[in-house]
Every structure is written in structure tokens, then in C-alpha cells.
Amino acid sequence: MNRLKFIIMSLLVIAAIQLVALLGLTFVFYQVTPNGVLARDTFIGRIQPVLLFARLADRSLNVLYRGPKAPGDIPLYQIDIATEELVKLDAEIAKLDVFLEDDAKFWIPATFRANGETYDVEMHIRGDRFNHWQFRKKSWRVKFKKDHLFRGMREISLIIPEDRGWFAELFNSYRAEKLGLLQPPMRVVGVSLNGSKSLAYIEVEHWTKGMLEKQGRPGDVNFYKTGGVQTSVFNGWDPIFDDMAYWGKFTKSVVSPHDSYEELDALFSIMKPGAHTQPGFRAQVDTLFDVQQLVRWYAHSMLSGNLHAGGDNIRLLFDPSRGRFEPIPWDVFLIPPRSLLVAPGNPLWDEVFAIPEWNLALHRFLWEYVTNEDQVKDDLREADRLRAMVEELAYRDPIKLPSNRQVKHDLDNRIRDIRANIEFLKEQLQISEVLVTQRIPTDAEQAQGVDLVLDVTVRGPVAAQLSGLALPLALVQDSVFSILRDDGDGQFNAADMPLSFERTEGLQADQYAFFPEHAFLAPKQPETDGVGMPVTTPQTHHLFFLTGLRRVAARDLPILLDVRNAVTGQPAQVIHTTVVDERVFQDSFPAL
């Protein structure tokens, strides 16, 4: 009998473990279902009964969640759409696949009420991907009559906040404005649709000339966009950087005849792979952009760990009166940190920030930002405020797709991502590793005037800088010392650049401090795979030739070098210093 009980108990335990594992797997599937773009086209979409059970179990706990009271007023709108119009809309949506094409965005009449005023409006579903319109809660574009604007706005977008990390888009918009980057007005609103309880939305003024003028920009500009431009069946995966036919305009400048795209053609010329190596590249970029604005644009993305500022999220103004583009950050998400070695994310950044000086400017800007305590505290305060603005409304939203457990999980993650990215960038920007080899050249090379060769190898994401060195007095006594930087061919010749320095007296050695613009040690861009992830840690050699010294012996080496992190100004991490006397084997390998 005891043996039978043991067997039965063992079987029950095994069955319980299997049940828990199955439920856990079901919850995992459910967790990814609303986030995966192709989820409904996989087997996950064919286990709806299981998912429905998990969803109901998860949603049964919604009543337990109570968010903080919003620290500010949340506007509430009432929208009424006739039932027959919604039936027509649902019939059209049933014909769609994963992406929404332009010709499917038909307008339907509706009534919009706010602040005691009623507006006759037209609406259509918005958003390229199915999560905006496939489910009960949809994203909308609302167009008001020209003679009856809403708060001075002709068109607004009401976007489901779950697509924008709840408050992530709002936070990144706030941060963009701090960096002097153009942003459309954006806020949290509640919407009652046909008498429903308040639904959480993000309101954004649409890209119109009026919006630009209110932001202090001229309305007569070419306002370029990507994403949802054409009606290709591959919409969402179109190679927008291969052909400008995939680009469109929100607004058109009357200065450009026949709606021409000549400035976009100029932009494409600086986005070609390897364009940064061509003569005139820097001048072209300086003509088309404010480089400091490009630095702030990319820095804004990096502060969020974001790779979403490419593809179908490019927004660029071109003002013919200034002859320059202006970037607008859009749909910038918050994700966990990524290495500085990861490729920037779009061909423009790839080429621009392959220029060492501009990459250094980017890193110095980021360092100043993440080490500014007031700046960081302001970011965290605003993130907490924006979370509080949306949290209670999101929990009470009756038709949102995720459960309140998922909402809280997402809100917590976004706060963590903000903090983690700041700390991660601070750590990454302090990584400046170098290896040093000090070579006594062969007699033949010394006959040409080279007394010592410094080979400084830089590795990692951050540049280094040769700030100074100390030479034994025996090497510089009664001599005229100079140091030249190799021009890149690895040979000592007249093309090498002399470094400017100042001499300071030392007790045991002569000390020299170099002017930074001449001794900047930039790392190369890493090799990356098809999705921009680094596959190597780049190692970049920088050669310096010392001349005018008395005869150098191995016992005089290594000389003391001051190599610093070019971003932080702190000493670089010198992994190892190696001394090589090339005279030892100069006669042993004549073929070499």
C-alpha cells in the first residue's frame, strides 16, 4: 500500500510540474503575441483557445492595479462614429494583411466633442502595422474643418500608447526639445468612443505647415518622410536608402518646381557606403546639415538605447531659404543599453560618424550629458511624472490589448531602461584601451633620421589622445628633439606631420605636452554583421617617429607616455607596453 501511494504521489507531482510548465509556456506565448509583428502568421495564432484562457486568467487580476493620481489634468474627448461606418471599416480591415497601405486609409465621418464644443470631423485608422488597427482599440487620424480648427490644429493623431512604450515617446519628445530638436506637440489624453469608458491615447499634432509655423519653422518647406509612402506589397520592408522613390513628403515647398527631389538626391550622395572617404564629403555634410544638430540627433537616440530612428521613421525638413535639412526625432523607443560599437542604424549616421572628429564630438556630448547630475535628475523627474500621467488611465482602459500586469511590467521596464542607458553610456565612454610598442629602429632607419618609433594601438569604442611623454635627460641632452605623426603609409617620410608641443623641465627627464588636435588617436569603425552588431573589436595603429635624440638603447626604454581618454580626459587603460629593438635581428633576415 505504501508503495502504491508513493507511485500515485509521484505521478501527481509529475503531472503538476507538467501543468505548471504548460501554463508558463502559454503565458510566454501570450506575452509576445501582441508585440510580434508576424505573431498571427505563426502557430501562435492558431492556438487561440489556449491564449484566450491565459488572457482571461491574466485579465482577472486587472482590478488589483491602481495607479497614482495624475499630477496634471488629462484632456477628455468624446468621439461618436455611426455603427454603419464602423461596420464598413471592419470589413475593409478584414481585407488587410500585416501592413496598412495608403489606399486603405479611407475617411469616415464622426463627431468630436471637447471642452463643451462639438466638431464635425473625418477620421481614418493610422499606423502602418496591424497592432494599430487589427484589434478593438485602434489608432486614429482626426481631421477638423478648416473653418473650425481644434486648438489651432487642422489634424491630430490619436496613437495607442502601448505602441509607444506608454510614456516612452512622450519622454523622448521632452528630451528632444531639451536638445533643441524640433518636435510636434504631444500629450496624454483620454478618449470615450461611442460612450465607452476613457481609453488612453497619445495625442500628436499631425505634420502640417501650420504645425511647423507654430514651432517657429517656415511652412514653405519640403518635409520628407519614409514609411507608408507607396502601396508596395512589401510596405514596411522597402529598401528606402536604395531608392528615393520610396520617400514622400508631408508638405511641399513652392520654391521647388514640379515637386522635385534635388535636395534628397544630394542627401543620397552622402549616404552611399564609403562616402566619408571621398574628397569633399565633409563640405557636403556641412552644406546640407548643421553638424552639431546631427550630433544631438544621434545622441538623442543613443540615450534611449534606440535603433528605431531609421527605416520608416525618418523625418527631415528641407528649408530652401537656408538650403539645409533639419532632422526630427520620431517614434523613438526606450530599450536596454547597446554597445557603442553597434552600427548607428541608418546610412547617414554610418557615414557621418565614421569621421573621427565628429564621432569624438558625439561621445563628448554624451559624456557631458550623462555626467551632468542636474540634467540626469531632470530626466528622471520627468520620466516619473509622465509615467504617473498615463498609469492610472492605462489601468482603467477597458479595451487595451495587454493586461494591467503587462502594463505595469512595461512601465517598470521603461523606467529601468532610462536609468540603465545613462549608467551604461557612462561606463562605455570611460573605456579607452591602448597597447604601446616602443621600437628602436634598424641602423638603416636610424640613418634616415628616426631614433624611436612609438606604435600606439587603440581598441574599443572611444578615442584616445597622446597628451605627453617624458624622455630621459641622456636622450635629449644637447639635441633638438621632434616628433612626427605618420601620414598613414607606415613609412618615415616628408609627408609625416610634426606635432606641436611645449617643453617642461623635469628632475629626471624632459617632459613634453602635446597639443590635442595633433595627437588624437581615433579607433576604426568595427566590422558588423547584417543587423549592425559588431563582429570584431577594432584595433587601430597610430605611428609616431621621434627624431633628434641621442642614440637610444634598450635600457632607456620604455619611456613614459601620457595617453588619455579623449572623451573624459582621464588616463587611458594601457593594457601593456612592449619594447622591441629591431637592430638585434636586422642582419638575420635580409629578405625582410
Identify the three-state secondary structure at position 385: helix
Q: Which fold has domain 433-581?
A: Immunoglobulin-like (2.60.40)
Tally of CA atoms within 13 A in the half-sphere of 208 that contains its CB = 18
Joined together, the cell numbers standing for residue 160 give: 495607442
**b/e burial code for range 2-15 (CB count within 10 A of at least 16 → b):** eeeeeeeeeeeeee
Identify the three-state secondary structure at position 82: coil
Q: What is the DSSP secondary structure assignment for residue 161, as one 8-state letter?
A: G
**CA-based nearest residue to 387, from 157, 170, 217, 565:** 170
Identify the three-state secondary structure at position 17: helix
Helix axes 356-370, 404-428, angle to 10 degrees: 120
Backbone torsions φ then ψ of 465, nearest 5 degrees: -150, 130
167 Cβ contact list (under 8 Å, min separation 6): 161, 188, 383, 386, 387, 389, 390, 411, 414
Please report where in the chains the cell 484589434 appears, as a residue.
135
Give the start-to-end residue ranges of the domains of the chain.
2-60, 76-428, 433-581
Q: How far apart are CA 491 and CA 486, in angstroms?
A: 7
Q: Tell me what pLDDT residue 589 has.
A: 64
Residues 479-491 have pLDDT tens digits of 788 888 998 888 8
Provide the β-strand partners of residue 132: none
Q: Tell me what pLDDT residue 411 has.
A: 93
229 Cβ contact list (under 8 Å, min separation 6): 102, 246, 247, 248
Identify the segments of the chain with pLDDT beneath 50.
30, 32-38
Q: How far apart are CA 460 and CA 525, in angstroms?
A: 9
Q: How far apart are CA 49 and CA 232, in angstroms?
A: 34
The string of DSSP letters for 214-263 reads HTTS-SSSEEEEESSSS--TTTTS--TTT-GGGEEEEE--TTSGGG--HH
184 Cβ contact list (under 8 Å, min separation 6): 204, 205, 206, 207, 211, 215, 328
Query: If 0-12 CB within 10 Å is exposed, 13-18 middle and 19+ buried, where does residue 65 land?
Result: middle
Q: Which helix (H) or strand (E) holds 93?
A: helix 83-93
Provide the β-strand partners of residue 199: 191
Provide the β-strand partners of residue 316: 224, 327
**b/e burial code for range 390-426 (CB count within 10 A of at least 16 → b):** bbbbbbbbeebbbbbbbbbebbebbbebbebbbebbb
Q: Tell me what pLDDT residue 335 has.
A: 84
